[in-house]
Amino acid sequence: MESRVALRTAQLQDVNARLSAEIAMRAQTEAALARSEERLQDIISMMPLSLFLKDAESRIVLMNQACEQQWGVCFQDIAEGRDIQHFPSDQSAGFHTADREAFASRSVVIREELVWNAQLQENRLVQTHKKPVFDAEGRPQMIIAMAIDITDSKRNEENLQRSLAQLRELSDHQQTIKEEERRRIALDIHDDLGQNLMVLRIDVSLLHARTAGTHPRLHSHAQRVLDTIDATIRSVRTIINDLHPSTLELGLGPAAEWLIRQMEGRGAIRYRLHIASDAPHLGLDQRQTSAIFRVLQESLSNIVRHAQASEVEVALAQEHDAILLRISDNGIGMQPGDDGKRAAFGLKSIRERVHALGGELRIDSQAGQGTALAIHLPQSRERVADVS
């Protein structure tokens, strides 16, 4: 009997010791868990990113300092029920809809929304990411959300876009002025220098005719002067045409044909031009005509200078209410980084001209596979109406 009691006592002591050890272990684990939760709370509260948790009924259960600042509220006031309606009612309704959406989609919902800041007394634009969390049975449990204030970056972006648009307008305006100036100088040279040269030529040819039999030396001298005047007239014509091709007045089609004929005379490249329209003006106004002409001129000059091509195809087409121009060559193609080179302005000016007219530019090129530059330009409305 005594030995049974001793055995039982020993067993009980053993169980007791194990229980005490387990209790000590559990206390340790709980302390460690509490410490780690405290650390997590510290991390959350120190995070510069606004973070908050909501329960399944969209009640705020936790928020960090960044969130308090973003909303201009104090979490304590919300938790203790002193601040129930801190957002305007239409905003609250929107947030609840987003919460329900996150639970329904069972995935992260990202939204840009206006959030009232009670301290600043203004709305801030915020990008909110909401992740729904479900319990073991799959029922909505909480929403983990983070929110980034994008008011300033959005404002900066808008300012940047506005500046870019202004720059484009300015560049377009400058191009127009430049084009008008070129046209005026071309006309002045034509009307002034050109006319004077013609008068001079008539006088010298009279002198040349009258001295034929009587003054052989003066006659041959007059012939040399005539030759010089003819060469000057030719070079003045070239200058006038370079400044403002007279064919531009006839429309883009004839101007493109003229330009290609000029290019053919300068080298061994074979050019093919397709114009898929009967209307010489292709429904373009003077500004658009000049812009597309200059794009074509720069593209062809690039091909001659850089492409080492033997064939070039230029296609000009009219599609619905847009003009399509495609210039392709079978040359060496562009290298990565060519489009954007420093101190290279041709492609930049093409891009500016096209954008200023509300068009799109595409360059397809691969080393050894040639280059194709395509532009798509909407026609001006009045013209579209005229043509149709």
Ligand X SMILES: Nc1ncnc2c1ncn2[C@@H]1O[C@H](COP(=O)(O)OP(=O)(O)OP(=O)(O)O)[C@@H](O)[C@H]1O
Report the interface residues with ligand X, using CB under 6 A: 302-303, 305-307, 329, 331-334, 338, 341, 344-348, 371
Cβ–Cβ < 8 Å for 385, 335 = no
Closest CB to ligand X among residues 141, 262: 262
Q: Could you say which of ligand X, Mg ion, none residue 139 binds, taking C-beta under 5 to 8 angstroms by partner kind?
A: none
Minimum gap (Å) between residue 169 Cβ and Mg ion: 24
Minimum gap (Å) between residue 223 Cβ and Mg ion: 43
Q: How many residues bind Mg ion (CB under 5 A)?
A: 2
Closest CB to ligand X among residues 4, 342: 342
Cβ–Cβ < 8 Å for 95, 112 = no
Minimum gap (Å) between residue 260 Cβ and ligand X: 15
Cα 344 to Cα 302: distance, rounded to the nearest angstrom: 11
Closest CB to ligand X among residues 132, 333: 333
Fill in the per-residue mask, 38 to 67: x = in contact with Mg ion (CB under 5 A), - = not in contact: ------------------------------
Q: Could you say which of Mg ion, ligand X, none residue 307 binds, taking C-beta under 5 to 8 angstroms by partner kind?
A: ligand X
Minimum gap (Å) between residue 274 Cβ and ligand X: 19
Count how many Cα atoms sit within 13 Å of the Cα of residue 64 in the half-sphere of its side chain: 18
Cα 237 to Cα 42: distance, rounded to the nearest angstrom: 81
Minimum gap (Å) between residue 347 Cβ and ligand X: 3
Closest CB to ligand X among residues 8, 341: 341
Minimum gap (Å) between residue 371 Cβ and ligand X: 4
The residue range among 96-104, 187-195, 208-216, 298-306 that interacts with Mg ion, by the rule CB under 5 A, is 298-306
Q: Could you say which of Mg ion, ligand X, none residue 385 binds, taking C-beta under 5 to 8 angstroms by partner kind?
A: none
Count how many Cα atoms sit within 13 Å of the Cα of residue 372 in the half-sphere of its side chain: 9
Cβ–Cβ < 8 Å for 64, 52 = yes
Determine if 378 is a binding residue for Mg ion (CB under 5 A): no
Task: Kindly compute the dihedral angle of the four CA atoms of residues 9, 13, 16, 21, in this order, to the nearest 10 degrees.
Answer: -170
Cα first-last separation, the chain: 120
Please give the structure tokens belonging to residue 331. 């040359």
Minimum gap (Å) between residue 329 Cβ and ligand X: 5
Determine if 302 is a binding residue for Mg ion (CB under 5 A): yes
Among 94, 254, 280, 346, binds Mg ion (CB under 5 A): 346
Residue facing ligand X at closest CB distance:
346
Residue facing Mg ion at closest CB distance:
346
DSSP 168-219: HHHHHHHHHHHHHHHHHHHHHIIIIIIHHHHHHHHHHHHHHHHTTTT-HHHH
Cα 291 to Cα 179: distance, rounded to the nearest angstrom: 9
In the chain, what are the helix, strand and coil shares in percent, each to the nearest 5?
55, 20, 25
Residues lying near Mg ion in the complex (CB under 5 A) are found at 302, 346
